[in-house]
Each structure stands twice: as C-alpha cells, then as structure tokens.
C-alpha cells in the first residue's frame, strides 16, 4: 500500500495514513477552554519504532507535529504543521488496530484552501509539466494551487532533487491572458519565472522576498508582459479589496484577529510599482 501522508512529531516518524480530513480548519472544538481544530488521519498505521520510543521515554505524543504530503515514491513534497493540544499516550497508540483513524485535537499553523488536499494528487507522480493547468480551477482552488506551489518549493524533494542557483538578469515572458484575479496573477507569474507549477510569491508582500534572492530569478531582470490589458482591467482596487475579504474569511479560521489596511489604488498599479522599484524593467504589451 502506498501511503499518501506521513505524520511526524518532533522530527520522529510516527506513522502513515491514506487521507487527512480537517486541514481546512472547518471543524472547531473547545479543549481546555481554548478553540482548537479536529484533524483526522484516515487509515492510520503507527510505526513500531515510534511506539518503542514512547515506551522507553515514557513520553506522550503532542505539541509540534508535521503532516507530510508524500509523492508516489514516499518522498515529502509538502508539509502542514500542527500543534497537538490533547496529548496522546503510548497506550492509546499501541492499542490502535491497523488502519484505524487517528484523531488530533490541535492548533493549525495555516489552513488548507478549497480542494487543496485533493489537488496534491496532481503533483504526486511529478510536478506539473505544462503551463496553465491552474486556469480551469475555481478562484479558491487557484489559491490552493499557490499554497501547493509554495510548499513544494521548500519541500525535501525540490531542495534535494531540483537544486538551482540564483540567476540575475535575463528576459522573462508573462502571459496575461488569464490574469483576471489576484490569485491568477501569482499563478501566472510563478510559471513565468520558474516554469509549470512554479512559485514566485503569493501576495504583494512576499513577492519582495523572491525578487531579492532564494527563488532562482533575482532582480534586476526584464519582464515582457503579454496581454497586459486583461490584468489592467481586472486587477482593480475593488479586486484587491475583495482579496482582503477573502483572506480575512480564511485567516479567522486560524487566528482570532486579522487586519489589513485598505488599498488606495489598483493592484495592477501596486505590482508595477513593486517590480520597477526593485529593478525590474517592464515592457507592457496590450
């Protein structure tokens, strides 16, 4: 059986499972007077080595844990961090039958979006090898696509098997024909800079990190933005405000407070300003 996920606690491998339910932060329960999330590991198989570790150390499973997404070879291609609040004792794990479900009462570091967990199946065999696979997705699932691209970028597999050096300069081509929302800009921009399924930021803040190094292409470089009129007409001030509202709905599942200043101009203008300010030469083609 090829497991789709693994579960680690303090870097120790706990076990494997076939599915995970609850990473969208859609099940909230109260534990010790604190709002927590319920996450279920489906068809869970605990590792005997971990049981031995718990038995010898007389410790419990809890606090900082990680759920890894595995490719078809069992290599991690992305991870979700959870903080287990209700500790699980050795006896609770040792008495589990094989392929039972393991329930975690935890705090999530971030929430999956839409069909994010299902979308990982497109990446298990291989990273996407053609551009614009994200175009057919709903806007919510485009955000999920961005989350996956980001997690894949920092994953064990990408770091070990697809290493690259920073590149300064060069000319890159951004196809703007499908840039109709905030999320679609970053899907298209990531692929323009780093190929199909590529990542180059997911919001107006961390795009600065990408421009300054660590994400293959560094400024200064030249960007030829084809079909830029589509983005000009759609990346409006109103679309930016809508994105802030979408973020608020998502982040309030995890954090009690979320604030973001209201924009006073269009998101298209903001992107152009950021890129030019950090040494990118832009050529807009209608």
Per-residue pLDDT for 256 more than 90? Answer: no
pLDDT at 147: 97
Cis peptide before 275 (omega within 30 of 0): no
Closest CA to 219 of 149, 176, 281: 281
pLDDT, mean of residues 58-74: 95
pLDDT, mean of residues 36-61: 93
Please indicate, yes or no, whether residues 36 and 72 belong to a single structural domain of this protein: yes
CB 185 within 8 A of CB 201: no
Please indicate, yes or no, whether residues 22 and 96 belong to a single structural domain of this protein: yes
Please indicate, yes or no, whether residues 162 and 74 belong to a single structural domain of this protein: no
Residue 78: strand pairing partners: 69
Closest CA to 49 of 15, 21, 18, 23: 15
pLDDT tens figures, 213-249: 999 999 999 999 999 999 999 999 999 999 999 998 8
Please indicate, yes or no, whether residues 99 and 241 belong to a single structural domain of this protein: no
pLDDT at 18: 96
Give one DSSP letter per residue of 187-215, joined into a string: HHHHHHHH-TT--S-SSTTTHHHHHTSSS
pLDDT at 117: 98
pLDDT at 35: 93
What pLDDT band is residue 1 in, cutting at 50, 70 and 90? low
CB 11 within 8 A of CB 81: no
Please indicate, yes or no, if residue 218 is contained in any of the structural domains: yes
pLDDT at 259: 77
Q: Find tokens 């983005």 and name the residue.
A: 231
pLDDT, mean of residues 17-31: 96
Please indicate, yes or no, whether residues 215 and 167 belong to a single structural domain of this protein: yes
Please indicate, yes or no, whether residues 255 and 135 belong to a single structural domain of this protein: yes
Please give the angle made by the CA atoms of 83, 88 and 94, to the nearest 5 degrees.
135
Please indicate, yes or no, if residue 157 is contained in any of the structural domains: yes
| Residue where one domain finishes, among candidates 78, 108, 138 | 108
pLDDT tens figures, 130-171: 999 999 999 999 999 999 999 999 999 999 988 888 999 999
Per-residue pLDDT for 99 more than 80? Answer: no
Please indicate, yes or no, whether residues 59 and 164 belong to a single structural domain of this protein: no
| Residue where one domain finishes, among candidates 77, 108, 139 | 108
Please indicate, yes or no, if residue 122 is contained in any of the structural domains: no
pLDDT at 230: 98
Please indicate, yes or no, if residue 121 is contained in any of the structural domains: no
Per the structure block, which two tokens stand in for 73? Answer: 């070879």
Mean per-residue pLDDT over the chain, rounded = 94
Neighbours of 226 (CB within 10 A): 16
Per the structure block, which two tokens stand in for 16? Answer: 């494997």
3-state SS assignment for residue 178: coil
pLDDT, mean of residues 52-67: 92
Per-residue pLDDT for 98 more than 80? Answer: no
Please indicate, yes or no, if residue 70 is contained in any of the structural domains: yes
Per the structure block, which two tokens stand in for 28? Answer: 């909230």
Q: How many domains does the chain have?
A: 2
Please indicate, yes or no, if residue 116 is contained in any of the structural domains: no
Please indicate, yes or no, whether residues 135 and 253 belong to a single structural domain of this protein: yes
Please indicate, yes or no, whether residues 102 and 150 belong to a single structural domain of this protein: no
Please indicate, yes or no, whether residues 158 and 232 belong to a single structural domain of this protein: yes
pLDDT at 80: 98
- Report in angstroms the alpha-carbon separations of 273 from 56, 207, 237, 267, 268: 58, 12, 14, 10, 9
Residue 66: strand pairing partners: 8, 81
Closest CA to 147 of 114, 192, 176: 114
Q: Find tokens 């780093």 and name the residue.
A: 194
Please indicate, yes or no, if residue 113 is contained in any of the structural domains: no
Please indicate, yes or no, whether residues 166 and 275 belong to a single structural domain of this protein: yes
Please indicate, yes or no, whether residues 190 and 163 belong to a single structural domain of this protein: yes
Model's pTM, two decimal places?
Answer: 0.94
pLDDT, mean of residues 185-196: 97
What pLDDT band is residue 101 in, cutting at 50, 70 and 90? very high
- Report in angstroms the alpha-carbon separations of 109 from 36, 65, 81, 123, 215: 11, 10, 6, 22, 23
| Residue where one domain finishes, among candidates 73, 108, 143 | 108
DSSP H helices, the chain, are 48-57, 90-94, 116-119, 121-124, 139-153, 156-161, 182-194, 207-211, 228-234, 237-251, 267-277
3-state SS assignment for residue 36: strand
Please indicate, yes or no, if residue 117 is contained in any of the structural domains: no
Containing structural domain, residue 154: 127-284
């Amino acid at each position: 059986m090829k497991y789709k996920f693994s579960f680690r606690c303090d870097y120790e491998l706990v076990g494997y499972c076939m599915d995970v339910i609850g990473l969208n932060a859609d099940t909230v329960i109260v534990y010790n007077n604190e709002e927590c999330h319920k996450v279920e590991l489906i068809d869970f198989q605990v590792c005997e080595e971990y049981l031995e570790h718990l038995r010898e150390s007389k410790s419990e499973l809890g606090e900082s844990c990680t759920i890894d997404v595995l490719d078809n070879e069992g290599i991690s291609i992305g991870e979700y961090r959870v903080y287990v609040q209700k500790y699980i004792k050795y006896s609770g794990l040792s008495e589990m039958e094989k392929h039972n479900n393991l329930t975690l009462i935890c705090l999530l570091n971030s929430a999956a979006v839409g069909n994010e967990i299902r979308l990982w199946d497109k990446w298990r065999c291989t990273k996407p090898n053609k551009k614009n696979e994200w175009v057919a997705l709903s806007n919510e699932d485009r955000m999920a696509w961005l989350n996956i691209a980001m997690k894949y970028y920092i994953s064990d597999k990408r770091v070990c098997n697809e290493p690259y050096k920073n590149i300064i300069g060069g000319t890159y081509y951004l196809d703007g024909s499908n840039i109709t929302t905030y999320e679609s800009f970053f899907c298209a921009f990531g692929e323009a800079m780093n190929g199909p399924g590529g990542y180059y930021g997911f919001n107006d803040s961390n795009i600065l990190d990408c421009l300054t190094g660590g994400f293959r292409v560094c400024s200064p470089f030249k960007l030829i933005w084809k079909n830029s009129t589509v983005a000009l007409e759609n990346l409006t001030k109103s679309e930016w405000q809508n994105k802030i509202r979408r973020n608020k709905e998502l982040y309030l599942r995890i954090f009690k407070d979320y604030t973001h200043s209201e924009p006073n101009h269009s998101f298209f203008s903001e992107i152009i300003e950021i890129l030019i300010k950090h040494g990118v030469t832009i050529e807009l083609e209608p």
